[in-house]
Amino acid sequence: MNDLAPLVHDAQADFERAAAPADLENAKARYLGKAGLITEQLKALGALTPDDKKARGALINAAKQQIEAALNARREALAHADLLAQLKAEALDVSLPGRQRGTGGLHPVSLTMERIEAIFGSMGFDVADGPEIETDWYSFTALNNPENHPARSMQDTFYVDVKDAEGRWLNLRPHTSPMQVRYARAHAAKHAEAVARGQAMPEIRVIAPGRTYRVDSDATHSPMFHQCEGLWIGENVSFKDLKVVFGDFCRRFFETDELELRFRPSFFPFTEPSAEVDIAFASGPLKGHWLEVAGSGQVHPNVVRNFGLDPERYIGFAFGMGPDRLTMLRYGVNDLRLFFDGDLRFLSQFR
Ligand code: PHE
């Protein structure tokens, strides 16, 4: 025990109280700084005799070392506490569920389009695509619509207030039937060559799915909707082939053989005779109801002529079905607008 013991003790207590590195450095200055208590002790040595100086100096150095040791210990403790706090603040809670990256999925109508393409593809049908902004000629005239046919009226068809380079009014196609004419004409040269070589004309067998537009909006009609056109033309293609192909398609689309088909006489300017195609399921919630799924018919000779083909030689059928309707039937959806609202609660059910 010597007179420096209380000083060492005070320093240790001060350092212990320092809660942050800055407090600790202030406390250090009080003992070891230029005007600190230890420094004062060392300055006082000058007045002593050499022997006393030696003994006193050793005591002061011992006290200084104890103070420095306490200082270092506290510095480490504070740094460690700081590290712990930082680790705690940045801690990962590994038990939290991860942030999920949503898995996307195809729109139900796209799923239907893909099914339609796959099924008709397997029956040898090509898949074609064409413009949604059409000319009057393709939408109506080429399809044997008289100039004053009501389908052309402003109430049904969206007209675009612009004419094309040849001065023809443009419209948003009200059906996919223009694709019959576009596709057939696009292949006309190939057909003519085959015929010139004395070969049979290669058959036209195509479907053309896509968006269509009409001035119409309620639970079962949307101003934008989908259609899928079908066309099969050859030298010997009959209504019987239409029944077989369309029946096959329906059974495969709905994955059931318990399905009946009915061709109900109807009228379209571009087919003669024409029929609506109705289906009825033999079981399930829709049992006993006839549901209209397509318009169809044998392609009118005037239209075959507009294909660039001789109607005396080429014959066949066309149909136009509603993929939106097929999607509603397949998944049991009762309001068409659900398809176009973009509500993820609805759409994610089809992932
Ligand atoms: N284009 C007709 C419609 O939109 C459907 C149809 C296509 C009918 C082909 C006959 C042949 O209603």
pLDDT in tens, 228-279: 999 999 999 999 999 999 999 999 999 999 999 999 999 999 999 999 999 9
Instruction: State the distance from the centre of ligand 1 to the C-alpha of 180, rounded, in angstroms.
Output: 10
Backbone angles phi, psi at 231, to 5 degrees: -145, 130
For CA atoms 303, 309, 315, 318, the dihedral sign is: negative
The minimum-distance atom of ligand 1 relative to the CA of 274 is 10
CB hemisphere CA count around 156 (13 angstroms): 10
Q: Return d(Cα 195, Cα 61) in angstroms, integer.
A: 117
Read off the pLDDT of each residue in 152-179 and give the average, rounded to a whole number.
88
Q: Residues 43-101: pLDDT tens digits?
A: 888 888 999 999 999 999 999 999 999 999 999 999 999 899 999 998 888 888 888 88
Distance 14 CA to ligand 1 centre (A): 95
- Report the percentage of the chain scoring pLDDT > 70: 99
The token pair at 44 is 């006082």
Q: Do 59 and 41 meet the contact criterion of CB atoms below 8 Å apart?
A: no
| 300 phi, psi to nearest 5 deg | -65, 140
**Cα R_g (the chain), whole angstroms:** 44
Query: How confident is residue 131, by pLDDT bands cut at 50, 70 and 90?
Result: very high
Question: In percent, how much of the chain has pLDDT > 90?
Answer: 72
Q: Is the CB of 320 under 6 A from ligand 1?
A: yes
Cβ of 297 below 6 Å from ligand 1: yes
Handedness of CA 209, 212, 217, 222 (dihedral sign): positive
For the Cβ of 295 lying below 6 angstroms from any atom of ligand 1, the answer is yes
pLDDT of residue 217: 85
- What ranges make up the beta strands (E) of the chain? 126-127, 133-135, 159-163, 169-172, 204-213, 224-234, 259-268, 271-281, 291-299, 315-321
